[in-house]
């Protein structure tokens, strides 16, 4: 996780939890002059639009006071959805045995994208089976990871 995303996670977690939700993760996306702060929230019985509105109001007030992002940005609050992004080692551990998709920051074995079964989390390594072959991926090299929904 990038340093600024980690700082935002630490800043926002108490507010999100006080509102009755789990802060699943944060993405800070920059595209030219446009910045988007995307906050994913979760709770046991799912997330509604009203839940997102509640968290958006609470978080927006905190961000206005603390001002951790010096430029103009758009705030989005969302459920992680079926293809939920994975941010933490605890989240990866929760999905061992399921299919995930991983994009690496730096290529490994000549590729950056891996899609297969997450077989284990071994220290700082993610162990996956992709097309019948095992791969060990360094957690710190993961740019993005998502659960692949099964229908």
pLDDT, tens only, 14-45: 999 999 999 999 999 988 888 999 999 999 99
Tokens linked to 106: 């730096």
Which pair of structure tokens corresponds to residue 126? 């993610």
Long-range contacts of 45-48, Cβ-Cβ distance < 8 Å, separation of 24 or more: 46/79, 47/21, 47/78, 47/79
pLDDT, tens only, 90-137: 999 999 999 999 999 999 989 999 999 999 998 889 999 999 999 999
Q: Which of 73, 140, 70, 151 is nearest to 102 (CA)?
A: 140
Q: How confident is the model at residue 70 (pLDDT cuts 50, 70, 90)?
A: confident
Give residue 150's pLDDT.
85
pLDDT band at 1 (very low <50, low <70, confident <90, very high): low
Report pLDDT for 133: 94
Whole-model pTM? 0.88
* The pLDDT of residue 69 is above 80: yes
**Which residues, including other chains, have CB under 8 Å from residue 151's CB and lie 6 or more apart?**
none
> DSSP label at 98?
S
How far apart, in whole angstroms, are the C-alpha atoms of residue 73 and residue 35? 5
């Amino acid at each position: 996780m990038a340093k600024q995303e980690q700082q935002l996670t630490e800043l926002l977690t108490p507010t999100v939890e006080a509102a009755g939700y789990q802060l699943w993760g944060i993405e800070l996306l920059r595209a030219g002059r446009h910045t988007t702060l995307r906050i994913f929230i979760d709770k046991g019985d799912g997330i509604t639009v009203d839940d997102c509105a509640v968290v958006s109001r609470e978080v927006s007030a905190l961000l206005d006071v603390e001002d951790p992002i010096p430029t103009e940005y758009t705030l989005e609050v969302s459920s992680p959805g079926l293809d939920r992004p994975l941010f933490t080692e605890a989240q990866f551990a929760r999905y061992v045995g399921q299919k995930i998709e991983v994009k690496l920051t730096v290529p490994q074995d000549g590729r950056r994208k891996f899609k297969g079964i997450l077989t284990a989390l071994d220290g700082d390594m993610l162990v996956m089976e992709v097309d019948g072959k095992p791969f060990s991926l360094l957690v710190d090299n993961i740019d993005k990871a998502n659960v692949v929904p099964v229908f």
